[in-house]
Each structure stands twice: as structure tokens, then as C-alpha cells.
Structure 1
Amino acid sequence: MQEYLIVLNKDEDTISIVNLQTNEIEKTIETDYNPHEVVVTPDGKKTYVTCSLGNKMNIINNETFEIEKTLEHPDFNFPHGLGVTTDGKKIYMASTYSEKVFIINSETDEIEKVIPTYQKLSHMISFSPDGKTVYVPNIGSDNMTVVNTEKEEIINHFPVGKAPEGVAVHPNGEHLYVANQGDNNLYVINTQTLEVEHKRRVGSVPIRIVFSPDGKYALIPNRESGDLSIIATAHELKGNVRPWEVKRIRVGVWPGGTVFNAQGTLAFVANNKTNDISVINMETLKEEQRIEVGIHPDGIAYLKK
């Protein structure tokens, strides 16, 4: 098995395929305008890339690392966040300025359904671990849209902080973590009651949230402060167990897309303005090295094949 990083270089319209055995770029793929967000199917066979300023989606065959198909739609208006169902059969995509969620059949690569959110700036897609729920942060409405994947319908909206963007559900399914860019904080929300159980100050303009595979840590890249908040999700102190920022480490300028390897031993942070990837050792919680990539890397995915 070989491990790769798929890194989207927004300002040169390319993808860097990084071989993690050598930490070198094995291949560069030309894309449509402004490749932004990325998801890999669970079987590792396909990669979906939203090209936000080009209003297109590029679909890559991971055997050849070639673009096999390009999807377009009149309502692809800054297509952005992506997610995939647990069975790999459906791709969900949020189109920011048209404020719609698209559902794409991954076998035919055709759009099956378009769901308007009726909220402002619907930006990302985050699945619950059981795959039954999708959370869509609406940056302009300061709220979250909830989609039931079995019905393929919106079932709720609920308020969060200002300008939410980063969102992820803890692997145990019990808590939704939301990074509020406008408040520079983290909300930890009970997924059953939708009550905010914890608020935590993080860095400036928190942009993403990614959990380690075991759920021990949540990583939050803070765009403006150029650092990475490391949240221990069940930190114990004097009998209290709660999520807590146990470390904040410097990475590159404008950190964004963040991903773990399969084992959870390493995390990778795309630094938009230093054109590199920070490699974080999750044992020491330190940056080990940088991998040079293209111009303005942001979206990033891990592939094992």
C-alpha cells in the first residue's frame, strides 16, 4: 500500500500528488480555475475537487491520477465544501453563493438532487460518523443547516457563533465542534440537544476542524494567527473532563486544509501563503518538517492505495 497527499494549489490551478514515502511531489495535475476543496471516496478509487472560481467539479481517477470527468451546473456558483457518504455512493457538495447542496451519484457522476438551504453562504459539508446526518455551516447566517441523508432533506437549522466555517462531528457522534471565524472561538455542541456545552477561545480566524481517527484530538488551523490549536477532547484536570486547548503551535502563514494519515500518527496542514505543508507528529505535538508544494495550497486529502 502506498500513501499520498492530494494537495490543491489554488493560485496555480494544479494539484500536487505527494508520495508520503519520499515526501516528494510524484505528479502535478492541471485543473480548472481555483481548485479549492477535495474528498476521496472510501474505496480510494476517485477524488472529487471543487474548482470554486471556475464553477466546476473535476473528478480524478486515482489509478492514473488523471481527470476523467468535469461536472458543470448553472447553480455551481463557487462550489466549495465536499463530503461522501459512508458507503461511498453519494457525494454532497455545498455551493456557497447559490446557497444550495448538491447530491451526486458517485457511480454515474451525475447530479441527482439539488437542495436549497435558503441561508447565506452555505460553505462546507460535514458528515456524522454514522453517515445519517450532514451539517452545513452558513457563514452569512451564523447558523448550521442539518440534512437527513436517508430522506435527502433539510430537517433543521440552528444558531451557532459568528461566521462559522470549520465543522466536524466527534467520532463518537456525541458532539459537534464548530469553529466560528467571527468570534475566534470553538463551540462544542451536544448533537442530541443542540445545546452549546463548551466554548473555547482559539486563534485568529479558525478555519477548519479535523479529528484524529481515535477522537483524542481536534486540530483547528487559525488562518490569521498562523498557528494550529490542538484540542484534547477529553482533557482531565482535577476530576474535570472537558475539551481543552492543550497546545498551540506555529505552522506556516495562512494555514487551512488539515488531514490525518490513517494511523493518526501524523497530521498535515496546508499553509496557503508559504506554499508548503506542515507535518505534525501527533506523539510529540510538534511540527517535524515542511513539504514544498504549489502556490496557495488549501484543500488537502489523504489517500492510501
Structure 2
Amino acid sequence: MASSSSSEPAVEETRNWLELPPELMAMILHRLGAIDILTVAQKVCMTWRNICKEPAMWRTIDMQNLGDLWDMEYDLEIMARHAINRSCGQLVDINVEYFGTDELLQYITDRTSHLRRLQLVCCYSVSGEGLSEAAKKLPLLEELHLYYCSLSKEAIETVGRCCPLLKSFKLNDKGFIHPHIESDEEALAIAENMPELRHLQLFGNKMTNQGLQAILDGCPHLESLDLRQCFNVSLVVNVGKRLSEQIKDLWRPYDSTADYGFDSQIHDHESSDEDYPSGFSDTDFLSDNDEYYEFSGASDFSDYEGLFYD
């Protein structure tokens, strides 16, 4: 009698992503970041597009990019404004890299007073005055993280006074050995105006032991302190002992920077700073009406108000 064993190939089980619950799909899509959502994900299908238009998707806006603004097809500032509009006032967390301006900060603070976290990376067009004006409208801000952004003592003081809930502050620069410059202005402004800090990162700061002592005195709740590449700080016996007693997580000036995630090269007077482009290229951008519009570097964004709304 012939064998009855089947020789049919096994059928592979496939997953239909459209059958996932909208809440789960939103969580997956959100991991892409704002740029990929706006330029890729929302164009896949109508289901994904509808999810990408929900205000809850834009409570956190991550505009992380590689800084190659001249080669980009899109104008990131216009894209950021579109994402902010989609949040419908629910925005609580935004990360802007390389293209932030005073005008963009004003746009953010005019549309939400609930911001808890703001991160700016290499935003050379953000001034101390612009950040100060923004801080006055952000009483709930808990985290302010600044990388390679110029910030005056007065701006730090304003942030401290206007953001009493601030728990995490990062003011990071490039570490320089030469020329040897000492300055405690920033450290003293932090010590005198940010008493509720729990986490402080001052990568590459020019403060001395005097500034460090002031921070330890003025920020009694401090739990973590990052002093990497703060080469004017000397952790002598008394200072080192106090740090070990008061600070739970400590990074010393010469500790490894492998986990830092940004430029950690030590510079000297012969090194030239890297040039980060701050201009914007012309762009074609997909609107909610599935049409392309050209923006020729216009500075008056009022011309485009409501452009991305249905």
C-alpha cells in the first residue's frame, strides 16, 4: 500500500501589520522619529497616515539628524513646525539638532506651556536672549539639555528663576586644554538659581574648584554630576571626599567618554572647530493633501500657516 505521507511544502505564516491595534502600531511608528514619520511612514497607507496625524503621536518630537543640512531634501524647521502643529498643544518633549533658532523656540512656547523636556544640539542660532524668553513661558520644564550652544550667565539665571521644577540640566561644550581659560560664571549661575537639580552634566566646562564648591553648596539634592573634560577642576582630597559623600553617580574630568554620544575630542589652540551648517536648503514637502509644495527658504512662516491641515 502506498505511503500516505504528505509532500506538500509548509505554509509560512505571515503577519498583517494592518491588523495590529492602533495603540500598538502608534508605539512602533513613534520609534522612527519625527523625520522618518513625516517623510516615509505616513505615506505607506491610509491607516498609518491616520495614526501619524493623531496629536498623541506628537507629544514627543525627536528631530534627530546628522547635521547635513545642505544635502537635505527637506527644510527641517518647517517640518518641525508642522509636527508641533500636529501636537495640538500636547507637546511635552522636543529634541532639535543643528537647525534650532530663536524663532522656532518662540513657535514652540506659543503653542504649548506643558513642555517638560527640551534638548538643543549645535543650535548656534539660538541666543541667550531667545532661550530666556522661551524659559519665561515654560514653568513646568524639568529637563533642559544643551550641547554646544552658547549660553550667557544671565540666560542661566533666567532659566533657573523661571523653571523652578528643573531637575536635569546639561550645558555641554568641547573640552579644551589650550588655551587655558578659567571661568566660574556658569557654575555660579547654576549654583545660585537651580537649587532643585538632581542631575547636572557640564562636559568640557571651564569652571574651577571654586565653581564646583559653589554647585555642591547651592544644589543640595544633586545625585549625579558629570565633570568629564572639565580640566580646570582638581579633585584634591577635600573636594574628592565631599563628592564621594554627596554625589551618587560621578564622572571625573579624565573618565572615559565612550558612552557620551557626541564630539568628545579634546581640542587645543591649533585645532579648528568643525563647521556646522546653519542654513536651510530649498525643499519639497508632502502636505496632508498629498501634494508637494516648494519652499524657497522663506523666512515668513505666516505664509504657510494652515498649509498642512486638512
Q: Shared fold (TM-score greater than 0.5)?
A: no
- Larger helix fraction of residues: 2
Determine which structure has more spread, i.e. the larger CA radius of gyration.
2
TM range (shorter): under 0.3
- Larger strand fraction of residues: 1
TM (norm. structure 1) is: 0.28
